[in-house]
Structure 1
Amino acid sequence: MKAKEISLPVDDGSLTALDFGGTGHPVLLVHGSGHNAAAWTDVAFHLTDHCRVVAVDLRGHGQTRIDSSNAEQYWHDLAGAARSLGWEKPVLVGHSLGGYAVTAVTAGGRIRPHAVCVVDGLVLNDREAAVAEQRKWTTPEAMDQVRAQFRYGWSAGPDQIREFIEQSVREAPDDWLNQGARPGLLRKVLERSFSRHEHSWLRRPTPEQIAVISAPSPDAFVYPSVEVYEHLTCPVTIVLPEQGFYAARRAEVRAVVEARHDRELVEMDTHHNVPMARPAELARVILDLIPPNRLATGE
């Protein structure tokens, strides 16, 4: 589907976003680490008959030019994006890193959403264990790992980029992350992950950006640990894929869900990359969060 590229002013710059249009209750879609707004294209296709849909490129990702200088900016920005759109009480949907982003911006009181949908983007450790886990992603070894595995921070020319994208599409059926994704969608996401940098093109995020957002202050009120869910008072739906990152911790996920009556767990037979592998199923979950009187009315 055709989306309009828009700019959403935030505190110190702007986020680039894809406006998929539609009529009805506002839905803000937030991608995971290494992805960008294009990853939501097929989900948005199933939403726009009923909702007003925008997907953002987080700092350091896609076509957004600003980077993070601290660990909280990228999720703080979601409040600025909602203000720029003139939205009140949107449904927030986040995948992977974006799942924590929509959780954090709600827990911090920067947005009061109608509902939150977290797609395989959970934080389940207590703060002490979480601090130790976060530090792992700030080490030189971790940065080398993401460079080698995903080519984040890779500076390349147009021919190299085309070759990389086509190889990724060919290998997608056997790729743990991209299996089941529509080839054209995978191309869009990969193309959008490169931005012009000096005399070449840079694949984002860079490992350095991953290290920055992985280093929140251990004393922060909102921290990527399981205690963050205590600050969520709106309806929450958690999507847990059977082959996802948290499938082995189902009991802990259920404990988060059972802590409040307005939370729901939806399990799917797929892998981590739910938005690209199971867009229609995920769209149905999101539509269930829309107030009945706001479906396709815009009221």
Structure 2
Amino acid sequence: MSDMTIHSGSVPIATRDHGGDGPPVLLLHGGGGNLLGWRDFPNRLTPAHRVVSFDLRGHGHSGDGDWDTASLLADIRAVADHFGFDEPALVGHSLGGMLSALWARDNPGCPAAVSIDGHRSAATHEHNYDGLDPETLRADLKAITEVFDAQTAALERPVPPEQLEAMRAMRSPDEGEAVFEARLQRDLVERDGQTYSRLGADTARLLRVMPEFVDAVPVLNDVAVPFLMLLATRDFPGLPPQFGPLMAAHRAGLRRDLATVRQTRPNLEVTEVDGSHGMVSERPDEVAALVLDFLARDRN
């Protein structure tokens, strides 16, 4: 395993080469995360693949730059080219899964791509939900949007010490303290003697209004390569219980719309995982087995 910084145009991109033998795979983390969020997941893939992960621009140890899909896809190309990967498979979580879909759409030579619960924002268009009456839906959407607005605004302020301690208290027993602390610190930045989130408020606002972040499902209509979508069946960890019905309607809308896509795109496979959006850390064996099986299939 080795770390290095490459450049995508003028933006430095922090990468980690996990080694391994076999066809190349790029790992794309989710919004607000970093490459350490994969934890030991890459090691589950390296017996069959050469695996490289990297921090998205505006995240972790990578630099800042324009925030748009063209720039993000250019970063993926820069990483692939640096490592000599002509046609890597992509495995992305959350935002990374949405980017995997965009990459697969634009690169028909991509051997396969996987999205781990990367499909559409929890606060998306009204027609993307199914099973709630319109009045309740609009009220819940307004409420959850206000929660996200408050979270975004908080990124402009230093992280309170009590919040850092609360985050440390949530460390799972199976993640060593040093490993957890390294992952946490990669999500933070020091400015003027204060600790801030590495993901800034401006980037978070741009992320939230990206059309593909609001809803990446339509992108799949134009993806011709083998594509696996892993869907969580449980709510986001820490989500207030009041949003349970909204999230159930969100999942129902996803099942409906992905089934519609599959009518014309049999290359799309959808598998539900009994876990939350954090399934990579919750159920690493199951998720890795699903990914490995999908990437290993002989499609000739």
Instruction: Calculate the TM-score normalised by the size of structure 2.
Output: 0.75
How far, CA to CA, are the matches of 1:285 and 1:153 in structure 2?
A: 39
Q: 1:84 to 1:209 in 2, by over 3 A?
A: same
The equivalences for 1:36-47 within 5 A come to 36-47=34-45
Q: How big is each residue's C-alpha offset from its partner over 1:194-253, in whole Å with a ceiling of 9 and x where there is no partner? A: 23445444312112101123445x7x9x99553311221110000011115653332222
Which 5+ residue runs of structure 2 have no aligned equivalent? 129-140, 236-246
- The residue that corresponds to 1:237 in the other structure is 228
State how far apart, in whole Å, the 2-side matches of 1:234 and 1:164 are: 43
The aligned residue for residue 155 of structure 1 is: 158
The AA in structure 2 aligned to 1:122 is H
* Alpha carbons 1:60, 1:204 under 8 Å: kept: yes
Q: Cα gap change, 1:92/1:71 in structure 2, threshold over 3 Å: closer, same or farther?
A: closer
2:25 maps to 27
For the aligned residue pairs, the C-alpha RMSD in angstroms reads 3.5
Determine which of 232, 242, 260 is the counterpart of 1:255: 260
Distance in 2, matches of 1:166 and 1:32, equals 23
Residue number in structure 1 paired with 2:272: 267
Residue 55 and residue 154 in structure 1: after superposition, are their counterparts in 2 closer, same or farther (change >3 A)?
Answer: farther
Tell me the amino acid that sits aligned with residue 119 of structure 1.
I
Counterpart residue number, 1:206: 200
- The alignment's TM-score, normalised by the length of structure 1, stands at 0.76
Cα distance in 2 between the residues matched to 1:183 and 1:167: 17
For 2:124 and 2:80, the matched residues in 1 are separated by 30
Over 3 Å counting, the alpha-carbon distance change for 1:8 and 1:152 in structure 2 is same
- 2:45 match: secondary structure: coil
Of 220, 228, 245, the residue aligned with 2:219 is 228
Counterpart of 2:112, as a letter, is A
What is the CA deviation profile of residues 73-125 of structure 1, one whole-angstrom value per residue up to 9, with x for unaligned ones? 2233212211121102211011111111111122234x732101011111499
- Relative distance call for 1:281 and 1:152 in structure 2 (3 A) is farther
Per-residue CA shift, 1:139-181, capped at 9, x if unaligned?
A: x967752247xx5344369xx4xx65443232357xxxxxx87
Describe the SS at the equivalent of 1:6: strand
> One-letter code of the match for 2:20?
G
Query: Which residue is 1:9 aligned to?
Result: 7
What number of residue pairs does the alignment pair up? Answer: 269
The alpha carbon displacement at 1:272 in A equals 0.6
Bigger helix share = 2
Instruction: Tell me if structure 2 keeps the 8 A contact 1:40–1:275.
Output: yes
* 1:167-182 equivalent positions in 2, closer than 5 A: 167-171=166-170, 182=175
The percent identity for this pair of structures is 25
